[in-house]
Amino acid sequence: MAYSEKILSRSIDPATHEMLARAEELGIETAWDRYEAMLPQCGFGELGVCCRNCNMGPCRISPFEEEGPKKGICGATADIIVARNLLRMIAAGAAAHSDHGRDIAHTLLLTAEGKGGGYEIKDEAKLKALAAEYGIETEGRSKEQIALDLARAIYAEFGKQEGPIQFTRRAPQKRVARWQSLGIDPRGIDREIVEIMHRTHIGVDNDPVNLILQGLKASIADGWGGSMIATELSDVLFGTPKPIKSEANLGVLKEDQVNIIVHGHEPTLSEMIVAAAQDPEMLALAKKYGAKGINVTGMCCTGNEVLMRHGIPPAGNFLQQELAITTGAVEAMIVDVQCIMPALGTVAGCFHTKLISTSPKAKFPGATHIEFHEERAYEIAKEIVRTAVENYRFRKPGQVRIPKEKSECMVGFSVEAIVSALGGTLNPLLEAVKSGAIKGIAGVVGCNNPKIQHDYGHINMLKELIKQDVLVVTTGCNAIAAAKAGLLLPEAADLAGEGLKGVCKALGIPPVLHMGSCVDISRILVACSAIANALGVDISDLPVAGAAPEWMSEKAVSIGAYVVSSGIFTVLGTVPPVLGGPEVTKLLTEGAEGVVGAKFAVEPDPFKAAQLMVDHIMEKRAALGI
């Protein structure tokens, strides 16, 4: 089918084109329509120079040389305002990831106490390894006893007054020493976030450099704290991911089955939904209503969580959430927290779809709220699945339009799985990097954003990197884009340069490795640490680079900050709201190099961005003498 210029310009994904056309036909508004209606976006906001941190304001700094105010009413300069605003983004992002980590710690605690409504400890080896890191006795103790001590110790990381956060000690010694000398080795996770809110209150910290350092500190508490806790404890509870095959894109929805989409971030609920959907009672109920089965699919990061542990196929990434409902084939979209558009209730209202919110922290217009409590997890999951199944009879077959597109993928490359694919040690990877077969490693992650053609930034950057023999690790919505484009298959190695292709073929791995959800960027940090330690260098010495070609969320700002703080050069595909502060911009894109050994670059063109990453990798190789 031929689509309009407008539709083609919005995405590179054919399934998305089809549903955008369908949405247009039905008069359903999407994020792209709302984005276009928003143009031109506020110039002060884009530059980061508006402030409403007190009620003398709002204030905005004029970007024009001659005219307009150059200071807020309190006297804050553009740089002060930009730095404060950026810090508050980091605080929100770090809070989102870390609160997710806290919820998983809570689930582990309940499970250890025998109060978890259906959870069990699936990875005992990891539990013991983590216990050892925390100095918790494991000899002759039950896994529940160990888990109880571990959950309590990890719970305490959030409210600690003095550091260190234990997992930060996984970083190479040189890195930790650098953080310490800069005063950015984080204390308790909550404490660093609270301190951002304090410092950015009117009349507190008004030194842009001092502010940014606190932003980095809180971001480290996210990456090496809250996010890493989320990852590690999810592995303990739900199992450490291993390579598994699945399929991705809207074509995974099924015409003759009850379709449930789990959307959001935390695996606690989605794991239980997956289990409840296999319950014979639920399957019998589905049959009763004339459905052939119950098809659970994923969206965004909770989609990644159940994809890598159960092979549950993702229906799409961030910008496809409204389109999934537009298929008319979704009985229930079940949401918890983060990246869930408040617009979903309106779209669901055009169909029989039930939007079911579950977290006491996140309610949505037009949603049915069935509150999730870990103590009764399985029971509630069954109630939610039952609601979806009972909704099947209200589906209007004439309204159903499911795109055919779906691609196969191989996912689940945790660090443990990568090491095992390499035969038990990282050495083959190190040898391939040293020999130049693999030039380096890139972490490509992050969201979608209607400012960039959907998936265009992701896919072109990935293709360009692998073509130039850079092995890619991916998480989040980039990972789903990669899955849809077929890049998570060993056969995709045919698109790679000769060196990388050879390595992938020999090991039977894809050139783009799926490492999980966004909190699983912590896995990338662990991998970088292991490689740096094996070479006896700091992370900032490695031929590695990071990128978020289509980022939009505040979580992505925190991620960018901790990745750079960890010593990894990072390219952003959309412009962060900092350009109104020349001193802050210079610090992030130049000065940071001398402080943390890495900096940011902004490059919307994915080909040019990939080249910046390759150039950086080649410089690091030269410095290492390889």
Q: Applying CB under 6 A, which of residues 19, 30, 44, 72 lies at the interface with ligand SF4? A: 72
User: Which C-beta is closer to ligand SF4: that of 52 or that of 245?
Assistant: 52
Verify binding: residue 82, ligand SF4, rule CB under 6 A.
no
Q: Applying CB under 6 A, which of residues 73, 132, 156, 177 lies at the interface with ligand SF4? A: 73
| Nearest-approach distance from CB 582 to ligand SF4, in angstroms | 17
57 binds, among ligand SF4, ligand BF8, none (CB under 5 to 8 A by kind): ligand SF4
Closest CA to 390 of 262, 257, 289, 283: 289
User: Which C-beta is closer to ligand BF8: that of 116 or that of 446?
Assistant: 446
User: Which C-beta is closer to ligand BF8: that of 391 or that of 475?
Assistant: 475
Binding-site size, ligand SF4 (CB under 6 A): 14
Q: Residues 425-444 vs ligand SF4: string with x where CB under 6 A?
A: --------------------
| Nearest-approach distance from CB 101 to ligand BF8, in angstroms | 13
Q: Where are the alpha helices (DSSP H) in 119-241?
A: 124-133, 143-159, 173-182, 189-199, 208-221, 227-238
SS3 619: helix
Verify binding: residue 52, ligand SF4, rule CB under 6 A.
yes
**Which residues bind to ligand BF8, rule: CB under 6 A?**
265, 300-301, 318, 339, 446-447, 476-477, 517-518, 553, 555-556
SS3 264: coil
| Nearest-approach distance from CB 99 to ligand BF8, in angstroms | 13
What is the per-residue burial (b if ≥16 Cβ within 10 Å, else e) of 490-513? eebbebbbebbbbbbeebebbbbb
Q: Provide the pairing of β-strand 244-248 with 407-411.
A: antiparallel
Q: What is the DSSP letter of 11?
A: B
Q: Is 412 exposed, middle or buried (0-12, 13-18, 19+ CB in 10 A)?
A: buried
Q: Applying CB under 6 A, which of residues 8, 54, 535, 624 lies at the interface with ligand SF4? A: 54
Q: Applying CB under 6 A, which of residues 11, 16, 30, 53 lies at the interface with ligand SF4? A: 53
Residues 194-213 that bind ligand SF4 (CB under 6 A): 202
Q: What is the DSSP letter of 445?
A: -
Q: Evaluate the CA torsion angle 423, 426, 432, 435 in order and state its sign.
A: negative
**To 10 degrees, the CA torsion angle through 530, 534, 540, 546?**
-50
Q: Applying CB under 6 A, which of residues 22, 35, 57, 152 lies at the interface with ligand SF4? A: 57
| Nearest-approach distance from CB 212 to ligand SF4, in angstroms | 18
Residues in the chain: 626
Verify binding: residue 59, ligand SF4, rule CB under 6 A.
yes
User: Which C-beta is closer to ligand BF8: that of 286 or that of 447?
Assistant: 447
- Closest residue to bound ligand BF8 by CB: 447
What is the per-residue burial (b if ≥16 Cβ within 10 Å, else e) of 441-470? bbbbbbbbbbebbbbbbbbbbbbbbbbbbb
The sheet that has 294-299: what strands, in order across it?
Answer: 314-316, 294-299, 258-263, 332-335, 354-357, 368-369
Residues 315-344 that bind ligand SF4 (CB under 6 A): none
Contact positions vs ligand SF4 (CB under 6 A): 51-54, 56-59, 72-74, 76, 81, 202
